[in-house]
Structure 1
Amino acid sequence: MGEDIKISVIIKTYNEQAGIAKTITSIRDNLSNYSHEIIVADSLSSDDTQAIALEHGAKVATLVNGDERCCGVGHQLGYLHAQGEFLLLMDGDMELAPGFIEQGIAYLDTHRDYAGVAGMVEMDDAQSYEFKSRKQRIHKIYPVGDTSHLGGGGLYRRSAIEKIGYLTNRNLHAYEEAELGMRLKHAGYKLHRLAVPYFSHTSYDMSSIELMKYRWRSGYLFASGELLKSAWGKPHFKDALLVVKNEAVFTLYLFLVAISILTFHIKIISIALLPLVAFFALKAIKNRSFRDALQSVVNLSVFSAGLIRGLSCRLKDPNQAPDNRLIKGEQQ
């Protein structure tokens, strides 16, 4: 570990040329009182993300093989080259909020049994169904106080990560923070979300259907199955099952509906479809929108298909480093 580096900031990116400069600038503005390094962990972007990052004084750790791309590989890639006592995890479309670092460091310094902290999240006004739904539930997704995981990134104690072997699972196309939280929990650590702003976030500017297509192509929707498969036989399997319980329950339900249809018995089929009709009705009443209710059913169906697809994915050893290279700009 580098004795002169207090904080290693790891920014996960893939084609983030529109926001990476703002992300790096917000970090520089808020870490001026701490010795730090900024590592852009890039999944082989095809735009100018890497060049912009280097121009702004960051190091770039990049994948060599584009087939390795996934959410879990990004921060792990940066961790391989990090030297700081603390690890600050961010994405290339985020801006660090003033004051978080000071309070985060102070909390971890006085609570040695905590492995990491995060803060409150601010989201923009994206119009897709998923992001509107997420914004409605933002306090449930990012609850203040002790929590099972730090969704959206956080400030972690490096020594805790070294104890559990790796930072984020290179196999996961999502849920990487949840899986990290599970492993830390079973290693005896706690996590906490402070009642202070952590970052502001820019959402995808896509329609609901476009976003769903993009997430299927990128493998994001396979993550629930990947999480269950990677956790099988490990102490945190039950925790993993709870994280993806909605997809798991709906997948099981769809399986039962399929069996009922094969009976060719109208009464049995009707009974099997009743929970789906009730779910649709409750969603329509709650959101005052038949369209949103239909979108919710479609989303669950696609996520269930993704779970099945994820279970068939071949997993790599998360402790083994992906092929990568480190690029340093002229300022370093």
Structure 2
Amino acid sequence: MKVSVGIKALNEESHIGASLGSAVEAVRPFGGEVILADSGSTDRTIEIARQFPVRIYQLATPSERSCGTGAQLAFQHAEGDYFYLLDGDMVLDPAFLPAGISFLESNSGFAAVGGRVREVNTDTEEYRIRANTVQADANWRPGAVDRLDCGGLYRMSALKELGYFADRNLHAFEEFELGARLRERGWQLARIDVPAVDHHGHTTGSFKLLWRRLKSGYAAAHGEVLRGAIGRPHLSLVVRHLSHIRNSIAVIAWWAALIILGFLYPHLALTLLVLPLLLLVVRRKSLRLGLYSFTMWNTYAWGLLAGLFSSRKPPERKIDSVELAAQLPERTQASHRQ
């Protein structure tokens, strides 16, 4: 089989139909497959997915859900020479797979390739910031990159060298961590100037979304990445290239300085308290965006510590899942535990 598209999802009834439809059409010229890895949806995600010619696997233990778990669950059932990871709120552009496969077949030193990402939802503070990042950050522009955020096409032979695709312990940054492991082994990654996906993202208010990410473990993901890299060859790449770690350390140091100055020089401490917020307001050119960034980075500073001291499961261990049958006439209604 030439290509597999894996889609990870949790309660994506608003977008899963468009996501699955785009993936099914994209693999059709290659005789490929589409795999839905569901992390225990309670909405109509599965009902909708059963109307498509895809394989559906649902996480057997919903308490184990994470971004890394969903990605790895899709991967462990993939059979293609190439594997594309897609989120359930993304629509795959039909132009990308032919261009991506052609690129990898012509460039043997590259393990993966991504394309242009369009952020559809820019109504909330987080996604306005993210859309600006997509325009400015080198990892989102065509050329050599150190990660493929928002999905990419991977060479299966390169992934098999690693033993697993995504670290099941990670609540975010699974693409960055994967890129670090690939690059440590000498592989390269790239983006090409071809549209890849439209990303719809969350419509939840930014501060509410931040609270949800705090409760779900998402905010601790960069600490989990650091925890998993300790004692492994890709540790230096993680420390150098994951800016969330450096920023969180800076925030922790800032708080330590505030506490010390609070006892010695209270007025200077007040200045130090307000200055970062003012700088962020100027940088974001918005009081609300500056306040959100200030809150977000303080949340992630706590998350660094929480993730660093989190427990881990062996990332190469198989993830238990249940296969759910589609409701297509030619398919047999059945389910079984993997």
Q: What TM-score do you get using the length of structure 1 for normalisation?
A: 0.93
Partner of 1:147: 145
Segments of structure 2 that go 5 or more residues without pairing to the other structure are 332-338
Secondary structure at the residue paired with 2:150?
coil
Q: Is residue 257 of structure 1 aligned with residue 262 of structure 2? A: no
**Paired residue secondary structure (2:100):** helix
Q: Say which is worse superposed, 93-102 or 136-145, in terms of deviation.
A: 136-145
Q: Deviations over 1:234-259 (max 9, x none)?
A: 11112222302212221232233234
Answer whether contact 2:38 2:57 (CA < 8 A) is retained: yes
In the alignment, is residue 45 of structure 1 matched against residue 61 of structure 2? no
Q: C-alpha distance in 1, partners of 2:104/2:213?
A: 35
Against the structure 1 CA distance between its residues 296 and 276, is the aligned structure 2 distance closer, same or farther, given a 3 Å change threshold?
A: farther
Q: 2:80 aligns with which of 75, 78, 84?
A: 84
Count of aligned pairs = 324
2:20 aligns with one of 21, 24, 31:
24
Match 1:236 to one of 234, 237, 241:
234
How far off is 1:98 after superposition? 2.4
1:111 aligned to 2:107?
Answer: yes
2:233 and 2:261 mapped to 1: Cα distance? 35
**How far apart are the structure 2 equivalents of 1:34 and 1:270?**
67
Rounded to whole Å, the distance in 2 between the matches of 1:202 and 1:212 is 17
Distance in 2 (alpha carbons) for counterparts of 1:311 and 1:273: 30
Query: What is the distance in 2 between the residues matched to 1:285 and 1:195?
Result: 32
Alpha-carbon distance, 1:61 to partner: 1.4
1:166 paired residue number: 164
Unmatched segments (≥5 aa) in structure 1:
none
Say whether the 8 Å CA contact 2:81–2:157 is kept in structure 1.
Answer: yes
Deviates more, 1:158-167 or 1:243-252: 243-252
> Alignment partner of 1:318: what SS?
coil
Checking the alignment, whether the CA contact within 8 Å between 2:36 and 2:55 is kept in structure 1 is yes
Task: Report Cα offsets for 1:213-242 as digits up to 9, x if no partner.
Answer: 111122110101111111111111122223
Query: Which secondary structure does the structure 1 equivalent of 2:11 belong to?
Result: coil
CA offsets 1:169-219 (integer angstroms, 9 cap, x no match): 000000100000000001110000001110001121111211111111221
Ranges of 4+ aligned residues in structure 1 off by more than 3 Å: 269-278
Identity of aligned residues (%): 34
TM-superposed CA distance for 1:328, in Å, is 3.3
Per the alignment, residue 324 of structure 2 pairs with 327
Matching of residue 310 in structure 1 with residue 310 in structure 2: no
Per mean C-alpha deviation after superposition, the further-off stretch among 17-26 and 139-148 is 139-148
Task: Quote the residue 2:129 is aligned against.
Answer: 133
Which of 265, 277, 280 is the equivalent residue of 1:280?
277
